[in-house]
């Protein structure tokens, strides 16, 4: 991915797609650092951003700074991302003023799933629309260098992109945003369920299943390993 992408986001969605968690709430700082380290070992071109997980920044700017410093020091990544809005604006500003680049995240915020009652698109009524706009504007004014806009109506994504100076990165937010992001496992077709906003660029779930089935068959009928895959005494 690295040669083709401007940004690699080590998202807390790793808790769901790799660790099998039902949502991102159970993701820990140690998990994010571990995966951030792995991505950094393979990245030489893209900007690498690591998500700050639930519970690692909400207590205030000082907590956020300590944990963001740990992420950057232990992974070598260049920036952090946190789910943002007016209540987090002071924290973003605090981090940026102290040399930590911050990417924001507005609209559908997975870490707020328990408050919002699930993964639901945002901005479909006037009250929600104004709330998401306020999230984006406050995040922009606090100094975020980019803003992920997730799960919002197309016209709202267009308005947010027009009103903020920071580039917007859409996921389920139409092509009105400045850039796009997808969870790699979704893009590569590793799951049966496909969200509305995902396009599969491969069908790896089927390909992997077929490959494992063929391997198991070859083992069972002893056609693997064959002579060309076997060591012999000289």
Q: Rounded distance, CA 203 to CA 193, Å?
A: 12
Region of 187 please: left (phi>0), alpha (psi -120 to 50) or beta.
alpha
Q: Is 228 a catalytic residue?
A: no
Peptide bond into 171 cis (omega under 30): no
Catalytically annotated residue among 83, 135, 150, 159: 150
Catalytic residues: 150
């Amino acid at each position: 991915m690295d040669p083709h992408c401007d940004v690699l986001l080590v998202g807390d969605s790793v808790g769901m797609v790799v660790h099998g968690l039902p949502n991102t709430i159970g993701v820990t700082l140690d998990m994010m650092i571990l995966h951030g380290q792995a991505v950094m070992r393979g990245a030489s071109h893209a900007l690498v951003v690591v998500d700050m997980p639930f519970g690692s920044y909400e207590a205030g700017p000082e907590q956020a700074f300590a944990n963001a410093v740990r992420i950057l020091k232990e992974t070598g990544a260049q920036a952090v991302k946190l789910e943002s809005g007016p209540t987090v604006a002071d924290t973003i500003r605090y981090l940026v003023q102290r040399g930590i680049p911050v990417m924001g995240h507005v609209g559908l915020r997975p870490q707020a799933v328990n408050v919002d009652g699930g993964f639901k698109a945002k901005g479909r009524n006037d009250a929600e629309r104004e709330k998401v706009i306020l999230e984006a504007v406050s995040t922009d004014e606090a100094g975020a260098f980019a803003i992920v806009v997730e799960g919002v109506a197309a016209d709202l994504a267009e308005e947010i992109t027009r009103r903020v100076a920071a580039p917007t990165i859409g996921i389920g937010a139409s092509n009105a945003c400045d850039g796009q992001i997808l969870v790699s496992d979704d893009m590569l077709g590793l799951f049966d369920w496909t969200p509305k906003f995902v396009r599969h660029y491969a069908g790896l779930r089927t390909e992997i299943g077929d490959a494992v089935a063929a391997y198991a068959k070859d083992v069972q009928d002893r056609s693997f390993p064959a002579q060309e895959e076997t060591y012999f005494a000289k």
